Amino acid sequence: MESINLLLSEALSPYQVTLTTSGVRDDCLVTVKNPGGAIVVEREVDRGQLIDKRALVDVVDCLLRDLKIAEGRLEPSVIAALRNAAQTRGGALA
């Protein structure tokens, strides 16, 4: 898991990423903090998504989207289109 944490930290830089075990199903809690240390995004992710390369890319994409939404960098119409696309393809973190 340490290598996955490093990959996530690199992909989401300058944000700080922490992975912790969560839930009964051996899920992982991904916590993303801004450089000031405030939590910006926190999501539970199935451990399998962090091991599978394609699923990990989807997780990173969804976290980047969530960061943009949390920071107000996405317009509501774009958010709605992204949600629709995620539902259509069964998105990782939709």
Q: Is the pLDDT of residue 92 over 70?
A: no
Q: Which residue has the higher pLDDT, 80 or 10?
A: 10
Q: Is the pLDDT of residue 23 over 90?
A: no
Q: Is the pLDDT of residue 94 over 70?
A: no
Residue found by looking up tokens 């830089």 in the block: 13
pTM given for the model: 0.74
Residue found by looking up tokens 């995004």 in the block: 41
Measured from the Cβ of residue 23, the count of other Cβ atoms closer than 10 Å reads 11
Q: Please choose, from the candidates 52, 38, 39, 67, the residue with its C-alpha nearest in 3D space to the C-alpha of residue 7.
A: 52
Domain locations in the chain as residue ranges: 2-89
**Residues 69-81: pLDDT tens digits?**
888 887 767 777 8
- ∠ CA 13-19-22, nearest 5°, is 150
The predicted model gives 74-94 an average pLDDT of 72
